[in-house]
Amino acid sequence: MVAVMSQLVGKRITLGVTGSIAAYKAADLISQLVKYGAEVQVVMTKGATQFITPTTLQVLSRRPVGIDIWAEGTNSVPSHIEIADTTDLLLVAPLTANVMAEFAHGLAPDLLTSIYLATRGPVLLCPAMNGKMYEHPATQANLKALRSRGHAIVEPAEGMLACGYEGLGKLAPVDEIVSRVLSILG
């Protein structure tokens, strides 16, 4: 049996997972956050489900995974509002260029982006994409807008990217993301 570390006991983290090849790393991220005692609510974009199954993340988080904004459930409060109201941290890892742009421009076409707009607590964003996409002026302008709102950003790492290019754009190491979560909530 793995010992639970108590730094995040009683903390509720909403983990947004977007449609990046790095979505598979969400499994390790959830495991680490749960090990620290956090309650993790996973919300996936439909694109993320092309890279990792909701079942995997549900088993690791021990909670149903949110995907569809129209599957509101039985509460009188819409799920995106309830999740936003009850989270201590909205963590999005990996964050694609598309979802980053939706956040920056206030678009809410799905559950994750709707939760983002309703969240009043801290937001931690972890971009992952091709280096050319990351360095594009539009992406950099979106990052600047998100930083100006007080959101924390864990910069992507350099290395071999899934597309075969070498450079900036890999999702930061899970340990680095967890460390940043601990600094925000610990």
Residues with a catalytic annotation lie at 163
| Phi-psi category of residue 168: left, alpha or beta, with phi > 0 → left and psi -120 to 50 → alpha | beta
The CA-based diameter of the chain, rounded to the nearest angstrom, is: 49
Contact 91, 66 (CB under 8 A): no
The token pair that represents 39 in the structure block: 């309650």
Query: What type of residue sits at position 96?
Result: T
CA dist., res. 115 & res. 69, Å (int): 10
CA dist., res. 171 & res. 93, Å (int): 8
Contact 35, 141 (CB under 8 A): no
CA dist., res. 144 & res. 137, Å (int): 10
Which are the contacts of 133, defined by CB distance < 8 A and separation ≥ 6? 97, 139, 169
